[in-house]
Amino acid sequence: MYFCDDVDLFPWEPGIFLETAFAHQAIVHKASGTLTGTALVMGSAVLGQVSPGMIAAVTLADDSLTQLLEVVSVPDSTHATVSALRGRAAEDAIPAFAGGSVKVTVVTFRPQIAAVGDALMALLGIASDRNTEPTPAYEKLGGFRMAATFATLAAVYRHLADGTAPNSTAYAKKSFYELLAHSSRRAIAATIDLDGDGIPETLRRADVPELTRA
Nearest to 61 by CA among 34, 42, 41, 38: 34
Set out the domains of the chain in order of their start, with CATH numbers.
6-108 (2.40.30), 111-205 (no CATH)
Q: Is the pLDDT of residue 88 over 70?
A: yes
Mean pLDDT of 28-53: 98
Alpha carbon 110 to chain centroid, angstroms? 6
CA distance 197 to 12: 41
Q: Is the pLDDT of residue 67 over 60?
A: yes
Q: Is the pLDDT of residue 133 over 60?
A: yes
Q: How confident is the model at residue 211 (pLDDT cuts 50, 70, 90)?
A: very low
Task: Write down the pLDDT at residue 134.
Answer: 84
CA distance 124 to 194: 11
- Tell me the per-residue pLDDT of 134-143, one tens digit each, with 9 for 90 and over: 888 888 899 9
Q: Is the pLDDT of residue 85 over 90?
A: yes
Top-confidence residue, 95 or 212: 95
Percent with pLDDT over 70 in the chain: 97
Cβ neighbours of residue 188 closer than 8 Å, sequence gap 6 or more = 120, 123, 124, 141, 142, 143, 144, 147, 205, 206
- Tell me the per-residue pLDDT of 160-172, one tens digit each, with 9 for 90 and over: 999 999 999 999 9
Phi, psi of 191 (to 5 degrees): -95, 125
Secondary-structure percent of the chain, ordered helix, strand, coil, rounded to 5:
30, 30, 40
Mean pLDDT of 77-92: 96
Average pLDDT, the chain: 93
CA distance 53 to 162: 28
Which amino acid is it at 181? A
Percent with pLDDT over 90 in the chain: 79
Top-confidence residue, 176 or 124: 176
Annotate 22-52 with three-state secondary structure: HHHHEEEEEEEEEEECCEEEECCCCCCCCCC
Number of residues in the chain: 214
- Tell me the per-residue pLDDT of 95-118, one tens digit each, with 9 for 90 and over: 999 899 999 999 999 999 999 999
144: exposed, middle or buried (Cβ count in 10 Å: 0-12, 13-18, 19+) = buried
Q: What's the start-to-end Cα distance of the chain, in Å?
A: 33
Task: Write down the pLDDT at residue 146.
Answer: 97
pTM: 0.91
- Tell me the per-residue pLDDT of 158-202, one tens digit each, with 9 for 90 and over: 999 999 999 999 999 999 999 999 999 999 999 998 888 888 888
Cβ neighbours of residue 163 closer than 8 Å, sequence gap 6 or more = none
Q: Is the pLDDT of residue 212 over 80?
A: no
